[in-house]
Structure 1
Amino acid sequence: MIETDVAVIGAGAAGTAAAFHLAAAGHSVSVLEAEPSGRIKPCGGGMASSVQNWFPFDLTPAVDDVIRRVDFSWCLEDPVVADLPGEAPFWIVRREHLDRLLLDQAVSAGATLHRPFRVTCLERNDACWTLKSEQGEPIQARAVVIADGSGSPWPQQVGIGPRSLHMASTLSVRLEGLGALTPGTARFEFGLVHHGFAWAFPLADGINVGVGTFIGRDVADSETILSALLPDLGFSADAGLRQQASLRVWNGHSPLHSDGVMAVGDAASLCDPFLAEGLRPALMSGCEAAKHLDRWLRGEERSLHGYSREMRQRWGDSMAWGRRIAQVFYRFPGVGYQLGVKRPTAPRRIAQILSGEMGYGDIAQRVIRRLLLQRN
């Protein structure tokens, strides 16, 4: 039996962020990763540069491009071009590079990596948790951080997170070369995707393309969508490495902790229900979880309730409004594009939301009223 202060299930962005801060605070940390080696993650990879403030080391080695301009389109036409404000740059990363950077920093701070270690049993015994796998010795931990993504069974098992999951369906594509996309420019396409949108984010020598739907379970006819979108970006319709996924999005206020256990990132259903932003809440939750877990382990906090409270204030209150906007916008996307995206102030507002300078609550009532009045 391996004993540790904290077992972190999953070596993605949220888990490794938590692992780094906990190890740096002097706690013994075991990171449990199911995959035997790193894999390509062709998800969007966009995050606000302001996340740098949460780490004492440089994140820019994982940054492939800095977005200064956003091109919007409706069914590949009716373009809107927006220059983002210089004070709020948006970074594009390769997820596999960011995850590796954070993991290396966690290990350097003293965390131990167990790989492959796919958790098959998570049990509470007295004041500790026991985690078992088909590979390696069982691990006994005073606390557990659940960070193994949208497919995690553990939040429901330990009774944390939303009672009902709201799943977005995504299809991501990693392409070599930039095609028709300009460095420093992101692309958002509305109209082709029923109840969702498509995106294209530039990398140093490639593009991450994605198609997502946020109302309903599946991307309807995703291959037809890509057969139109990819040629418009300068690629053949069948190009790229493809990956389908179901993504947990925010679905109401809920506790993200229990006795000695907390969920972070996608496992905590923190993904933005409107813009599908997942990296910033993943990193935010990992850092916030580590702060409260450190205090709990030292006996300075009696419970982990402070983590759930802080994530509600910092993230959930805004997402409650984002969810309302998404429910209206994606049901009436044509109206949303005309009254939202094409408004002169809209691109700046989107940039401010993505950077954390503004929350959905700051604009939600005006946006929803405008959409509903126009619809009626």
Structure 2
Amino acid sequence: MSLKDVVIIGAGAAGSAAAFHLANNGWKVTLLEKDSSDSIKPCGGGIAAAVQDWFPFELSPAVVQIINRVEFSWCLSDNVIAQLPGSAPFWIVERKKLDQLITNKAIDAGAELLRPFQVVDLKKQAGYWQLTSKDGRELESKAVVIADGSNSVWPKVFKLGPRIQHHASTTSVKLAGKGNLLDGSARFEFGLVHHGFAWAFPVANGVNVGVGTFIGDQATNSEAILEKFLPSLGFDPHEGSRQNAQLRVWNGHHNLHGDGILAVGDAASLCDPFLAEGLRPALMSGCEAAQSIHLWLQDKTFGLGNYTNSMRTRWGNSMAWGRRIAQVFYRFPKVGYQLGIKRPTAPQRIAQILSGEMGYGDIAQRVIKRLLLKK
């Protein structure tokens, strides 16, 4: 059994990003995927175009729409329109294509992909990590990256991420055709959803629609919401295939690393607690994890704490404010819509957050103060 430098559990966006950067730096990387073929993931596909800066190859083959206009509504009326600045501030990607693209680039850089390989045992012994698959295969590695999504059991086992997890409940619908949604235009509806919102993103040959709730553990009767929301988009209320999911969202500053092990993406509970953005932090964490492990493999006196610290600075500090905004906004959504979304400066601020140019901390104190004073 040959010793690997890094084994990555999960070949999604976060895992494949880590695999590419580590393999590109010359390390012996094995990427594990439990499924024998690509599965459909409940992902709207929205992502800031700024993530391109983190990769030396083009992500454009996975991009199916460039969003330059966002429409907000309250109970299907009282519309607000935000024009997004720049040539490509916000992308819609096809998630399957994105994962495959980055995984293939990792393989081209020298990474090994094993699928199906479902890890059922993970432990450290004699200074190295030992992994065992469901069918009895074994691997040994110096470092492990946990990247197998919101259903991962390993973060809890190794005390990575929040001890108490907070979830967003989502229902995703994939629709054929565009209805009345224009190319380059995304839609967010706040009034129909209790403690959350609905969204619609155009894709290559259809529309991705979703309903998400962010306070409490159960989705708010998504079928009743879709019966109203889908016709507003020009679709039959029962059209499309449904998929339900629980997303781990950011729930406080926590350790994301251990002794030669760390968690990335949804497994690390990095999803935005206000807008459910998960792709950007997934890719960010994969890139940051690779940099941290690269330094650690060169000189283990570095430790892996710089990964936790970097994600706190680059993502967690903004999410701390995003969580506070969400707790107030979703409890008093009509006030939030009037004082937040409909303010004259709101479209510009929303555009900057969606494009990654601004974090929640830049606006949070003013927003929360307005909401609390007017509720």
Q: Which bracket does the TM-score occupy, shorter chain normalised?
A: over 0.9
| CA deviation vs aligned residue, 1:305-325 (integer Å, no higher than 9, x gap) | 000000000011111001000
2-structure distance, mates of 1:71, 1:16: 33
Aligned to 2:207: 207
Contact 2:42-2:172 at 8 Å conserved across structures: yes
- The question of 1:334 aligning with 2:304 is answered no
Worse-superposed segment, 73-82 or 129-138: 129-138
Letter in 1 for 2:22: L
Mapped partners of 2:346, 2:369: distance in 1: 15
Structure 2 counterpart of 1:93: 93
Report the counterpart of residue 266 of structure 1 in structure 2: 266
Partners of 2:13 and 2:59 in 1: CA distance: 12
**1:366 corresponding residue in structure 2:** 366
Q: Indicate yes or no: 2:54 matched with 1:36.
A: no
Would the aligned equivalents of 1:43 and 1:172 in 2 still touch at CA under 8 Å? yes
* Corresponding residue for residue 318 of structure 1: 318
Contact 1:325 1:364 in 2 (8 A): yes
Percent identity reads 65
Show the counterpart of 2:147.
Answer: 147
Q: Which amino acid aligns with 2:6?
A: V
2:81 is matched with 81
Q: Distance in 1 between matches of 2:302 and 2:374?
A: 51
Q: 1:70 to 1:88 in 2, by over 3 A?
A: same
Shift of 1:230: 1.0
Partner of 2:178: 178
Question: Under a length normalisation based on structure 1, what TM-score does the superposition of the two structures give?
Answer: 0.98
In structure 1, the residue matched to 2:3 is 3
The one-letter amino acid of 2:363's match is I
**Per-residue Cα deviation, 1:322-373 (whole angstroms, up to 9, x for no partner):** 1000000000000001111111211221221222221111111100000011
Task: Decide whether the 8 Å contact of 1:42 with 1:94 is kept in 2.
Answer: no
Residues in 2 aligned to 1:6 and 1:176: alpha-carbon distance in whole angstroms: 40
TM-score by length of 2: 0.98
Q: For the residues of structure 1 that align with 2:345 and 2:186, how far apart are their CA atoms?
A: 18
Report if aligned partners of 2:67, 2:88 keep a CA contact under 8 Å in 1. no
Matched, 1:26 2:9: no
Unaligned runs of 5+ residues in structure 1 are: none
Deviation per residue, 1:15-49 (Å, 9 max, x gap): 00000000000011111101110122241101011
**Alpha-carbon distance in structure 1 between the residues aligned to 2:171 and 2:312:** 29
Structure 1 equivalent of residue 306 of structure 2 = 306
The equivalent of 1:279 in structure 2 is 279
Gaps of 5+ in 2: none
How much has 1:219 moved relative to structure 2?
Answer: 1.0
Asked if structure 1 preserves the Cα contact closer than 8 Å seen for 2:82 and 2:351, the reply is no
RMSD over aligned CA atoms reads: 1.1
Structure 2 partner of 1:167: 167
Contact 1:13-1:99 at 8 Å conserved across structures: yes
Q: CA deviation at 1:126?
A: 2.2
Inter-partner Cα distance in structure 2 for 1:251 and 1:42: 21
- The letter of the residue matching 1:161 is G
* More deviation, 291-300/47-56: 291-300
Partner of 1:51, secondary structure, is: helix
Question: In the TM superposition, what is the alpha-carbon distance from 1:300 to its structure 2 partner?
Answer: 5.9
1:262 Cα offset (Å) = 0.4
Cα distance between partner residues in 1 of 2:155 and 2:350: 31
Amino acid at match of 1:175: L
Are the counterparts in 2 of residues 117 and 136 from structure 1 also a CA contact under 8 Å? Answer: no
